[in-house]
Amino acid sequence: MTVFVPLTLDAARQLRTVGSARDLVGYAAGPGLRTWLSEARLDDEEADYVALNHAGVAALTLDDTAPTRIVLAVDRDVADGDDLGAVTVAQLDWVAVRSLFADEGAAASAVLAARAAVRGSDLAAALSAPAVEALQESYDLLWYAPDELDALPAPT
156 residues of the chain, pLDDT tens digit each: 899 999 999 999 999 999 999 999 999 988 778 777 775 566 778 889 999 999 999 999 998 899 999 999 999 887 777 889 999 999 999 999 999 999 999 999 999 999 999 998 999 999 999 999 999 999 999 999 999 999 886 655
Sketch the domain layout of the chain as residue ranges. 2-140
Q: Classify domain 2-140 by CATH architecture.
A: Alpha-Beta Barrel (3.20)
Helix (H) or strand (E) holding 14: helix 9-18
At residue 109, the pLDDT reads: 95
Q: Rounded to whole angstroms, how far apart are CA atoms 116 and 140?
A: 19
Per-position DSSP letters for 66-108, written without gaps between them: -SS-EEEEEE-------TT-EEEEEEEEGGGEEEEEE--GGGH
Closest alpha carbon to 28 in 58, 57, 5: 5
At residue 39, the pLDDT reads: 58
At residue 78, the pLDDT reads: 78
At residue 42, the pLDDT reads: 66
At residue 24, the pLDDT reads: 95
Q: Rounded to whole angstroms, how far apart are CA atoms 29 and 81?
A: 8
Please say whether the beta carbons of 36 and 69 come within 8 A: no
Give the chain's length: 156
Please enumerate in sequence order all residues whose Cβ is within 8 A of that of 14, keeping only pairs 6 or more positions apart, or say none: 21
Q: What are the beta bridge partners of residue 20?
A: 93
> What percent of the chain is helix, strand and coil (3-state, nearest 5)?
45, 25, 30
